[in-house]
């Protein structure tokens, strides 16, 4: 009796599977045309790209992000703002450095080009103290350590009458770059010593010049 019951259950289960398969075939055969007809009757409305469909309240406008600024400021405008900011400060080191730090606070990278253009503007306006402050701040950040920057600093120190600091900078540069010091630094120091009537130091400096540059000293002497 147990074997007969199991065979009956197996037959009933197979019959049930066949019925389900037949129903599935009918659904796949007759439901697809109905779905295609319904999709053909529906018209898809093309909405503008600046709107987002909300399930509760319908379409709503997408506003631009606040942190995405479309008004991009170039380096010329930034350098002009930097010059204006620096001119309004006092000569206190902490105040100048704090204002310059706040100026570049939102920059992802150090704005070296902006600072260079600002230094050029200050040099044309002969703002030597401001040039010294900006260059020393930039060097404290580890940026702009090039011969052009050091020459601008040397020139500003000489024009501002800070001869001791100019000599310290010259000695440091010459000791670090014995064989690669540009000739323009020698010319600048010789002109400084010449205008300050420091002829002994000018003669000493001529001995450190290369052989092809000693002709310049002989003509000056």
Place of tokens 């770059």: 177
Tell me the percentage of the chain whose pLDDT exceeds 90.
28
Which of 111, 107, 127 is closest to 119 using CA atoms? Answer: 127
- What confidence score (pLDDT) does residue 42 get? 47
pLDDT level of residue 177 (50, 70, 90 thresholds) = confident
Using one digit for the tens of pLDDT, what is the confidence trace for 27-81?
Answer: 655 544 544 445 455 454 555 555 555 555 566 666 555 545 555 567 788 888 8
pLDDT level of residue 150 (50, 70, 90 thresholds) = very high
Domain ranges across the chain: 72-145, 147-221
- What confidence score (pLDDT) does residue 174 get? 85
Give CA–CA dist 25/155, Å, rounded. Answer: 92
Give CA–CA dist 194/216, Å, rounded. Answer: 13
Give CA–CA dist 157/198, Å, rounded. Answer: 17
Give CA–CA dist 54/154, Å, rounded. Answer: 64
Using one digit for the tens of pLDDT, what is the confidence trace for 75-130?
Answer: 788 888 899 989 988 888 899 999 999 988 888 889 999 999 999 999 999 999 99
Supply 161's token pair: 């009458």
User: By CB neighbour count within 10 A (0-12 exposed, 13-18 middle, 19+ buried), where does 2 fall?
Assistant: exposed
Mean of all residue pLDDT scores within the chain? 76
- What confidence score (pLDDT) does residue 18 get? 72
Decide if 23 contacts 35 (C-beta within 8 A).
no
Is 26's pLDDT higher than 50? yes
Tell me the percentage of the chain whose pLDDT exceeds 70.
63
pTM above 0.85, yes or no: no
Supply 134's token pair: 């900006």
Asked which of 75-79, 111-115, 141-145, 157-161 is least confident by mean pLDDT, the reply is 75-79
Between the alpha carbon of residue 127 and those of residues 38, 153, 197, the distances in Å are 78, 12, 25
Strands (E), the chain: 51-54, 58-61
């Amino acid at each position: 009796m147990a074997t007969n019951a199991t065979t009956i259950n197996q037959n009933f289960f197979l019959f049930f599977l066949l019925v389900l398969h037949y129903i599935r075939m009918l659904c796949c055969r007759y439901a697809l045309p109905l779905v295609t007809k319904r999709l053909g009757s529906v018209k898809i409305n093309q909405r503008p790209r600046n709107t987002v469909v909300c399930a509760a309240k319908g379409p709503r406008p997408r506003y631009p992000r606040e942190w995405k600024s479309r008004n991009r400021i170039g380096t010329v405008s930034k350098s002009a703002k930097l010059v204006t900011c620096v001119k309004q400060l006092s000569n206190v080191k902490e105040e100048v450095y704090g204002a310059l730090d706040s100026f570049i606070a939102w920059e992802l990278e150090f704005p070296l080009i902006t600072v260079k253009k600002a230094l050029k503007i200050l040099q044309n306006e002969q703002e030597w103290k401001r040039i010294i402050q900006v260059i020393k701040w930039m060097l404290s950040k580890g940026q702009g350590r090039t011969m052009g920057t050091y020459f601008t600093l040397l020139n500003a120190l000489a024009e501002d009458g800070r001869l001791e600091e100019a000599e310290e900078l010259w000695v440091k540069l010459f000791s670090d770059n014995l064989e690669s010091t540009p000739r323009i630094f020698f010319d600048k120091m010789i002109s400084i010593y010449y205008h300050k009537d420091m002829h002994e130091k000018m003669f000493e400096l001529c001995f450190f010049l290369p052989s092809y540059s000693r002709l310049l000293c002989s003509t000056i002497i």
